Amino acid sequence: MSAIVRRLKELKNYPSAIFGLSIIGFLLVLSIYTVIAIPYSQATKLWRGADQIWIENPRFARPVFFDWFTPKKLARTIIVDSKNNPAAKIVERHEKDVEIRIILEFEFPYDEFPTEINLFMNTKLPDSNMYGTFYWETPDGRKISLKRGSIKARDSYEMSQDTALRRRLTGKDAHIGLFSKPSNQDDGAPLKGKYKLIIEALSFKPDDDLDARLVVYGTVHGIAGTDHLRRDLRVALFWGAPIALIFGLLAAVGTAVLTMLIAATGAWYRGVVDGMIQRITEIRMILPTLIILIMIGMFYSRSIWVILGTVILLGVFGSGIKIYRAMFLQVREMPYIEAAQAYGSSGSRIIFRYMAPRIIPMLIPTFVIEVPAFVFLEATLAFLGISDPVIPTWGKILYDAQSRGALYMGQYYWVVIPSTFLIITGLGFSMLGFALDRIFNPRLRRM
Amino acid sequence: MNDNEKIQRSNLKRILRYFLIRIIIMAITLVIGVYVVILVANMGGAVDNIRKSQIREAIGTSLLGDEVYRMMKPEEKREYVKMLEEVEFKRLGLDQPFAIRSFLYLKQALTLNLGNAERLTSDTGSRQVRLIILERLAPTLVLMMTAFLILFFVALTFALFLSRRYGSFFDKMIIALAPLSAAPAWFYGIFLILLFAAVLKLLPFGGMVRVPPPDNNLEYFLSLLRHLVLPVSSVLLSSIFISTYNWRTYFLIYSSEDYVEMAKAKGLSSAMIERRYVLRPTMPAIVTSFALSLIAQWMGSITLETVFNWPGLGRRIYEAINNFDSPVIIGANVIYAYLLAITVLVLDVIYAILDPRVKVGAGGVRQ
């Protein structure tokens, strides 16, 4: 054991190992932070997006840091709520009716048009039926009539989908038309300044009340952007780290240890046992791993644990078994094994206590190098649509992005950010693994 | 001369016998492999359900125009359909225990006689699984074979080049780049599409030829080449560094052997030393390592074709997953088992030609 520790200390002489270790350290810290900050139950709930949790997020928004690389000021989401701003609302109560006037005022300082405008309204009484008139006032004083109509208890007005309004705005969508400069000085950029949305509502129930929330959706959001369902990609990006680490490490350790033990068993007992193991390895070689996993995912279960178990089972009789077997055949002939046999130790004792520990130094680099393969295997399965339905992962973001043609639509952030996380994880483990390989396999070090 | 001929003839005999044994072993392996696939698939009852629902569908269609059936009462109808189903199950042997049934499925799977797909149709409109899968085989072979051949020769050339310049800048660069091979081909595919298709607009996003396909053969070929550039590059990016790194290490190990020193002392040209004393004994090891990477690449073709919208087997599998089409997935398993078995066999043959031990008679029982 101390020999292993001594060799591990050599790692500090390899810059690539230090780089790899710092990446792994970063992923560990990120994983621990994620598990504490966004607990599992909350993460799955957020990712499912139930109860319109994400309704105030824009669709397909880029991450906020895109702002740093462009001289333009990218549009962020503006939310104005009459509840937080009592001065915005004037209520005049009469004997038989009530008149409510809400003015939602906001500053628009951006160089880009917003992507959508929604107005959410709540009345106080559940069965009220108000009548409302909606106006829009631009900074240069133009007043645009939006619509007239009844307001239900929980109502929303999606201005960008209002076709009548689009006609009035000379064919422009509301989020562009309402922010454009007057037609004689239109230069394709939005008009900056103070905008107002005015709601004049009338209800024949005197104790009724109305609250309105205007959401002007921007083009950037959060540190990771959002997807087609307005979900904040941060959730999946952060949760991807612990999932990738757990899946990669468990699969790599499980496969490496079991493969080694099976190879040792074969080398020790020889004969029929060895022959069987060899034949199974050959059959395993022509089994298409990925499609078998797809089959398991489709016919049995998509739970990440079932997939992990199958991955280990299929990996156990992989190509590694021949390499280990060759090593064990040498170990088997060593005098200390003969000594163990002489004092009467059983076959399993020799395998576990004497043969396996001998190979562990070779095992360490192999399993570190194998980790990225399993991380990417999980991403590949998710990318093909075979993934645990509740857990957000990096592969799942890529699946969503790919199936909605993100690259074609120019939503590069959606692909690049999860990919960067994947490649960084892969590089971290494989750089460390290559350095370990040179330390533990001196033949390579001489080369 | 006569002796020489005799030796050659006996060599040929040995090699042929070796191939025959390998082919038989591979066939047995393949049968067992496909049987395992059937067992796994039917553990969830998938194969049984597919068969039964297809029989029910066939009976339902055949009764559509049946006047007598239409006049029956609902109960009689149900009885009648049940009777027909039972007869059909019995005729096809589906009433037998699974142990016997599984061999029936095995035979059907090996001949790719997998019945009809649930939702997918082939490009010619057929619903037969065999057609749906086989019509996509050629594009996959074109893509993967191009990639494999380029990968093999480029990596081999680089590895030889680097083994001569041990410790040089390029050598260190390959060592530093080797960890990049941790990512699979499709992953690089995404980046290449982003760079060359989306940003630079130099190459197409995907597909095999431009739409509509050119009539002229030469133009068709050129369009195919243009569409091949990105997918083949992604396979190369994901494998070339690690292959070059590994093979260079083999070359370095073999070029420090005594007989190489001896050849140098004899004053042979370095090209001859390389060809005769370094490349030759390293080849079996290289072929083995290449075989393992090929097997991984075959699996990678599923995602690679999905990313590049390449109309091959992999893309079909992706469509089958999204349509939940079980017969196609089982069929894909079988066809990939065939592809892997053929790959292993071909490389075995190459191995036998390269490894002198097979020629001198140690063949047949290679450990």
Question: Quick one: average pLDDT of B167-195?
Answer: 87
Q: How far apart are CA A46 and CA A49, in angstroms?
A: 5
User: With an 8 Å Cβ cutoff, are A294 and B329 in contact?
Assistant: yes
B174 and A CB contact within 8 Å: no
Nearest CA in chain B to A399: B307
Nearest CA in chain B to A15: B176
pLDDT at position A252 is 93
pLDDT at position B2 is 67
Question: Quick one: average pLDDT of B197-212?
Answer: 84
A289 and B CB contact within 8 Å: yes
Q: How far is B53 from chain A (nearest CA, A)?
A: 16
* pLDDT at position B365 over 50: no
Question: Omega into B212 within 30° of 0, i.e. cis?
Answer: yes
| Fold matches, A2-47+232-445 and A64-217 | no
Nearest to A288 among B46, B180, B337 (CB): B337
User: With an 8 Å Cβ cutoff, are A419 and B178 in contact?
Assistant: no
Q: Read off φ and ψ for residue B10, nearest 5 degrees.
A: -70, -35
Residue B358 — pLDDT band, cuts 50, 70, 90? low
Nearest to B303 among A295, A380, A419 (CB): A380
* pLDDT at position B364 over 80: no
pLDDT at position A247 is 94
Residue A446 — pLDDT band, cuts 50, 70, 90? very low
Question: Quick one: average pLDDT of A409-430?
Answer: 90
HSE (side-chain half, CA atoms, 13 Å) at B124? 10
Q: Read off φ and ψ for residue B152, nearest 5 degrees.
A: -60, -50
Could you report the per-residue pLDDT of A285-334, keeping only the tens digit for each?
Answer: 888 888 889 888 888 888 899 999 999 998 888 877 888 888 888 888 88
Q: Is residue A372 within 8 Å of residue A425, measured between CB atoms?
A: yes
Q: Position of tokens 């097979």?
A: B358
Q: Could you say which residues from 67 to 126 on chain B have a Cβ atom under 8 Å away from some Cβ of chain A?
A: none
Could you report the per-residue pLDDT of B24-47, keeping only the tens digit for each?
Answer: 988 998 999 888 888 887 776 677
CATH of A64-217, one of 2.60.40, 2.60.120, 1.20.140, 1.10.1760: 2.60.120
pLDDT at position B367 is 37
Q: What percent of chain A has pLDDT over 70?
A: 98
The first and second tokens of residue B318, run together, are: 């992706």
| Contacts A–B by Cβ distance under 8 A | 139
Angle between helices A233-269 and A40-48 (to 10 degrees): 120
Q: Is residue A255 within 8 Å of residue A370, measured between CB atoms?
A: yes
pLDDT at position A403 is 86
Residue B150 — pLDDT band, cuts 50, 70, 90? very high
**Which secondary structure element, helix H or strand E, spans residue A134, and what is its range?**
strand A130-137
Residues of A in contact with B302 (CB under 8 A): 290-291, 384
User: With an 8 Å Cβ cutoff, are B186 and A384 in contact?
Assistant: no
Substitution target in B21, B23, B29 with the highest count of A β-carbons within 10 Å is B29
Residue A270: CB partners within 8 Å, gap ≥ 6? none
Q: Is residue A172 within 8 Å of residue A188, measured between CB atoms?
A: no
Whole-structure pTM value: 0.85
Substitution target in B173, B196, B302 with the highest count of A β-carbons within 10 Å is B302
Residues of A in contact with B36 (CB under 8 A): 283, 287
Q: How far apart are CA B330 and CA B335, in angstroms?
A: 9
Substitution target in A14, A286, A292 with the highest count of B β-carbons within 10 Å is A286
Q: How far apart are CA A402 and CA A396, in angstroms?
A: 10
Task: Assign residue A193 a region (left: φ > 0; alpha: ψ between -120 and 50; beta: otherwise).
Answer: left
- The answer to whether the complex's ipTM is over 0.95 is no
Q: How far apart are CA A83 and CA B243, in angstroms?
A: 64
**Cα radius of gyration rounded to whole Å, chain A:** 32
Nearest CA in chain B to A371: B182
Nearest to A426 among B182, B306, B324 (CB): B182
Residues of B in contact with A290 (CB under 8 A): 299, 302
Instruction: For chain A, give the mean pLDDT.
Output: 87
Residue B366 — pLDDT band, cuts 50, 70, 90? very low
User: With an 8 Å Cβ cutoff, are B194 and A376 in contact?
Assistant: no
User: With an 8 Å Cβ cutoff, are A384 and B184 in contact?
Assistant: no
User: With an 8 Å Cβ cutoff, are B182 and A376 in contact?
Assistant: yes
SS3 state of residue A414: helix
Q: How far apart are CA A133 and CA A130, in angstroms?
A: 10
Q: How far is A290 from chain B (nearest CA, A)?
A: 6
pLDDT at position A23 is 93
Nearest of B143, B134, B131, B193 to residue B301 by alpha carbon: B143
Residue that wins the pLDDT comparison between B340 and B7: B340
Beta pairing partners, B170: none
Q: How far is B14 from chain A (nearest CA, A)?
A: 23
Q: Is residue B93 within 8 Å of residue B104, measured between CB atoms?
A: yes
Could you report the per-residue pLDDT of B297-326, keeping only the tens digit for each?
Answer: 888 888 999 889 899 888 888 888 888 787
Nearest to A291 among B190, B191, B332 (CB): B332
Q: Position of tokens 């049940």?
A: B82
Instruction: For chain B, give the mean pLDDT.
Output: 83
Q: How far is B65 from chain A (nearest CA, A)?
A: 35
A97 and B CB contact within 8 Å: no
pLDDT at position A66 is 83
Residues of chain B within CATH 1.10.3720.10 domain(s) are: 137-366
Q: Position of tokens 């990105």?
A: B230
Domain A2-47+232-445 top-level CATH class: mainly alpha
Question: Quick one: average pLDDT of A406-420?
Answer: 87
* pLDDT at position B361 over 80: no
How many of the other CB atoms lie within 10 Å of CB of A69?
A: 8
* pLDDT at position B116 over 80: no
pLDDT at position A24 is 94
Residue A279: CB partners within 8 Å, gap ≥ 6? B29
A237 and B CB contact within 8 Å: no
How many of the other CB atoms lie within 10 Å of CB of B11?
A: 15
For residue A220, give Cα distances in angstroms to A73, A76, A110, A417, B225.
10, 6, 11, 14, 39
Q: Could you say which residues from 380 to 399 on chain A have a Cβ atom under 8 Å away from some Cβ of chain B?
A: 380, 383-386, 398
* pLDDT at position B105 over 70: yes
**Which secondary structure element, helix H or strand E, spans residue A132, and what is its range?**
strand A130-137
- The full length of chain A comes to 447
Q: How far apart are CA B42 and CA B284, in angstroms?
A: 39
Residue A37: CB partners within 8 Å, gap ≥ 6? A238
Q: Is residue B183 within 8 Å of residue A372, measured between CB atoms?
A: yes
A303 and B CB contact within 8 Å: no
**In CATH terms, is domain B137-366 a member of 1.10.3720.10?**
yes
Residues of B in contact with A434 (CB under 8 A): 175, 178-179
User: With an 8 Å Cβ cutoff, are B341 and A286 in contact?
Assistant: yes
Nearest CA in chain B to A444: B249
Residues of A in contact with B181 (CB under 8 A): 430
In this structure, of A205-214, B21-30, B49-58, the range with the lowest mean pLDDT score is B49-58
Q: Is the dihedral of CA B171, B177, B179, B184 positive or negative?
A: negative
Nearest to B329 among A278, A295, A430 (CB): A295
CA A400 to chain centre: 10
SS3 state of residue A74: coil
Nearest of A65, A25, A202 to residue A123 by alpha carbon: A202
Q: How far apart are CA B47 and CA B52, in angstroms?
A: 9
A285 and B CB contact within 8 Å: yes
Domain locations in chain A as residue ranges: 2-47+232-445, 64-217
